[in-house]
Amino acid sequence: MKQTPHGKKKWNGWELAYSEDYPCEEAYLPLVRFIDYCAKSSNEQLQTGIPKWFYMDNLRDYMVFLLSQGILDNLFKNAYLSVVDKSKGNRMLITPWDLDCSLGGSWNGSYYTNPIWEGFILSAELPRRLWEGNVAGFKGLVYDRWQALRQTVLSEEAFCGRLDAYARMFEESGAWEREYAKWNGNPVPLKRNISEELDYVKDWYHRNAEELANHIFLGVESGVKEMKISAPLRPSHSVVYNLSGQRVSSYYKGLVIVDGHKMVRR
């Protein structure tokens, strides 16, 4: 990591978005601490500390989003890390910036026909450590979320339905014709008929879902485990977090994270 920032809007590959009018070392402190944590924490520290650094449901959903849509250029790159109130802690949200490398298509109009692969997850340090070590049951959390969403908004039927609806809007408005006239051959040839583009993306989405089911998530166990408790946990017991990474009391019911494992407390 390059030296600590002093009054710079850009530092170490990151750009200060807020408050950009007052770039200073203090504004970068959450990011500096986060980088130090990812680079220097032991496996045990990562296991117990990650819910304090991230809203786990946000991190889980972000990973499902990247994997299911084949978004190759946003794994802790082309993304925003946001702290709601740094006076109350350093817990972060991650959101994407641009999405011009997704669904089998690259930023310049060319195609990458292969589906997502596990090496993509391992290409950034924090996701690699979470995935390889299944830290805080991360693989199970991602798997469970993907399994749930593929029955609804991420199902092939729902996905293709959205594509068809947008395609009709492009055709009826003349937008596809204008885009083709403007960008065909700059820098690569575009498909003249929007139905050809639809067929390609639908086929890619199907093959990507197959890759997720048959390879990336193969053998991954559900992150939900039953935990039967007849009385509240004693104060000396392990700390309990909800799925947002917030510490909750021993009386809290529902889905929780205990010692890095996702459980149901009844």
Looking at the fold, whether 100 and 157 belong to one and the same domain comes out as: yes
Examine the domain organization and report whether 253 and 166 are in the same domain. no
Within this chain, do residues 246 and 153 fall inside the same structural domain, yes or no?
A: no
Provide the residue range defining the domain that includes 254.
225-265
Inside any domain, residue 4: no
pLDDT at 160 over 90: yes
Across the range 198-214, mean pLDDT stands at: 96
User: Would residue 5 count as lying in a domain?
Assistant: no
User: In the predicted model, what is the mean pLDDT of residues 148-153?
Assistant: 90
Of 176, 195, 216, the residue at which a domain comes to its end is: 216
Same domain membership, residue 126 and residue 188: yes
Residue 228 scores a pLDDT above 50? no
Q: Do 245 and 151 share a structural domain?
A: no
Burial of 127 (0-12, 13-18, 19+ CB in 10 A): buried
Are residues 196 and 97 part of one domain?
yes
pLDDT at 224: 63
Tell me, yes or no, whether 237 and 160 share the same domain.
Answer: no
Q: Quick check: 22 pLDDT over 60?
A: yes
Q: Maximum distance among all alpha carbons in the chain?
A: 69
Taking the model in full, what pTM does it have? Answer: 0.79
- 28 domain-assigned: no
In the prediction, which pLDDT does 161 show?
Answer: 95
Domain count, the chain: 2
**Which residues lie closer than 8 Å to 140 by C-beta, 6 or more apart?**
134, 220, 221, 222, 223, 224, 262
Residue 1's CB: how many other CB atoms inside 10 A? 10
Question: Which of 202-206, 210-214, 222-226, 233-237 shows the lowest mean pLDDT across its residues?
Answer: 233-237
pLDDT at 109: 83
Q: Please tell me whether residues 83 and 200 are part of one structural domain.
A: yes
